[in-house]
């Protein structure tokens, strides 16, 4: 039987566990060119929240009764296409919240055979989409120069923690913004950030003035909303704002809160740019090579917060938005 976590009801505002239910269906027979993947891990990513709404985001919303779409990694346990989906090999794909996923002959979303030397978990984080997002956002859009001040929000999260470390490797002065003393301590003591602002306890505007007296050259923003507005006021001349994510507004109904300080973008001749990793396919291989090298050399570190059991995926998604995790949040399926 295939155990799945499906969408029972669409969230109105913040996501809650009762939006989901667990169901079981027989594992389907394989057709020509298809393969069966036994799912090992699913990544818990903020983008999932957008797929719970009918309108979706860059991909359509998940239908009621369908398994929740999510990135993940599994092992091929049966195959009708040995060349494309070799038996026993690990594959990263949009596996969804379920124990088994049939890989179709005409798979529309990317399917990647995992290098046998790579730890499965790392394919969902530093050597996967999160690492690529951080690398491409920093090198393609932010482009921090040595000595520049680089600020990153959701700094102890999957993308933010890697983005800050890459900026540090480029010689920037890196300031994280994260919720709580444990997160701030991790990014400074273990990851080598120069400082971290606990936005839940500190006044961010005051701390930015102290920590970045010349202003913020780059803001790598994962959160949007009020935090973004606060940082806009502290921009340096020719500052760059990378709009990587808008976490604070994902479960807000209606229009996003206004940015009162947008005038500083003009005044400081700054540049604000939306960014999506999917637009930078051409640089994926280069990015993956560089990230693998840094990771192997211990110059980039990461950590995982793992919940055991597929049935805990809804709890994990709620935790993602409450901030009750450190590093990359994943669910171990089997």
Ligand X SMILES: NC(=O)c1ccc[n+]([C@@H]2O[C@H](COP(=O)([O-])OP(=O)(O)OC[C@H]3O[C@@H](n4cnc5c(N)ncnc54)[C@H](OP(=O)(O)O)[C@@H]3O)[C@@H](O)[C@H]2O)c1
**Residue 157 binds ligand X (CB under 6 A):** yes
**Residue 179 binds ligand X (CB under 6 A):** yes
**Residue 151 binds ligand X (CB under 6 A):** no
**Residue 62 binds ligand X (CB under 6 A):** no
Of 6, 152, 208, 244, the residue at the interface with ligand X (CB under 6 A) is 244
Of 62, 90, 178, 228, the residue at the interface with ligand X (CB under 6 A) is 178
How does strand 112-113 pair with strand 90-94?
antiparallel
Window of 23-31, 76-84, 185-193, 320-328 that interacts with ligand X by CB under 6 A: 320-328
* Burial of 285 from C-beta contacts in 10 A (0-12 / 13-18 / 19+): exposed
Of residues 9 through 48, those in contact with ligand X by CB under 6 A are 45-47
Of residues 261 through 290, those in contact with ligand X by CB under 6 A are 275-277
* Residue closer to ligand X, measured from CB, 212 or 242: 242
Of 69, 99, 101, 183, the residue at the interface with ligand X (CB under 6 A) is 183
Smallest gap, in angstroms, from Cβ of residue 62 to ligand X? 16
User: Tokens 């999957």 map to which residue?
Assistant: 158
Of residues 68 through 127, those in contact with ligand X by CB under 6 A are none
Smallest gap, in angstroms, from Cβ of residue 309 to ligand X? 20
CA atoms within 13 A on the CB side of 134: 29
**Residue 133 binds ligand X (CB under 6 A):** yes
User: Tokens 């669910």 map to which residue?
Assistant: 331
CA atoms within 13 A on the CB side of 108: 1
The three-point CA angle 149-150-152 to 5° equals: 145
Tokens of 164: 């800050």
Smallest gap, in angstroms, from Cβ of residue 199 to ligand X? 7
Of 7, 245, 268, 316, the residue at the interface with ligand X (CB under 6 A) is 245
**Pair 103, 127: CB distance under 8 Å:** no
Handedness of CA 49, 51, 57, 63 (dihedral sign): negative
Window of 88-96, 151-159, 166-174, 258-266 that interacts with ligand X by CB under 6 A: 151-159
Nearest to 142 by CA among 116, 114, 170: 170
**Residue 247 binds ligand X (CB under 6 A):** yes
* Residue closer to ligand X, measured from CB, 158 or 291: 158
Of 4, 71, 139, 222, the residue at the interface with ligand X (CB under 6 A) is 222
* Burial of 73 from C-beta contacts in 10 A (0-12 / 13-18 / 19+): buried
* Residue closer to ligand X, measured from CB, 76 or 288: 288
Of 33, 56, 192, 323, the residue at the interface with ligand X (CB under 6 A) is 323
**Residue 128 binds ligand X (CB under 6 A):** no
- Interface residue list for ligand X (CB under 6 A): 45-47, 129-130, 133, 154, 156-160, 178-180, 183, 222-223, 244-248, 275-277, 320-321, 323, 325
């Amino acid at each position: 039987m295939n155990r799945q976590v499906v969408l029972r009801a669409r969230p109105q505002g913040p996501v809650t566990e009762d939006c989901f239910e667990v169901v079981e269906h027989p594992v389907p027979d394989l057709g020509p060119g298809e393969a069966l993947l036994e799912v090992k891990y699913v990544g818990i990513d903020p983008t999932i929240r957008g797929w719970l709404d009918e309108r979706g985001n860059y991909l359509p919303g998940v239908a009621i009764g369908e398994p929740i779409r999510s990135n993940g990694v599994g092992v091929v346990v049966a195959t009708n296409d040995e060349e494309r989906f070799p038996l026993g090999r690990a594959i990263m794909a949009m596996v969804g919240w379920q124990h088994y996923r049939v890989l179709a002959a005409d798979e529309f979303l990317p399917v990647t055979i995992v290098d046998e030397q790579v730890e499965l978990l790392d394919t969902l984080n530093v050597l996967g989409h999160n690492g690529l997002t951080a690398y491409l956002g920093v090198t393609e859009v932010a482009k921090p120069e040595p000595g520049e001040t680089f600020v990153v929000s959701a700094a102890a999260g999957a993308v933010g923690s890697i983005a800050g470390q890459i900026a540090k490797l480029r010689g920037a002065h890196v300031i994280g913004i994260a919720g709580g003393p444990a997160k701030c301590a991790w990014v400074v003591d273990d990851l080598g950030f120069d400082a971290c602002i606990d936005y839940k306890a500190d006044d961010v505007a005051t701390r930015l003035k102290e920590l970045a007296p010349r202003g913020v050259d780059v803001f790598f923003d994962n959160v949007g909303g009020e935090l973004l507005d606060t940082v806009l006021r502290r921009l340096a001349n020719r500052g760059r704002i990378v709009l990587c994510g808008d976490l604070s507004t994902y479960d807000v109904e209606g229009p996003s809160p206004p940015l009162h300080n947008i005038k500083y973008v003009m005044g400081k001749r700054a540049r604000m740019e939306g960014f999506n990793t999917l637009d930078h396919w051409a640089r994926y291989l280069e990015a993956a090579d560089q990230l693998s090298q840094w990771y192997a050399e211990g110059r980039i570190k990461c950590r995982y917060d793992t919940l055991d059991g597929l049935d805990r995926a809804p709890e994990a998604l709620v935790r993602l938005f409450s901030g009750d995790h450190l590093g990359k949040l994943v669910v171990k399926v089997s």
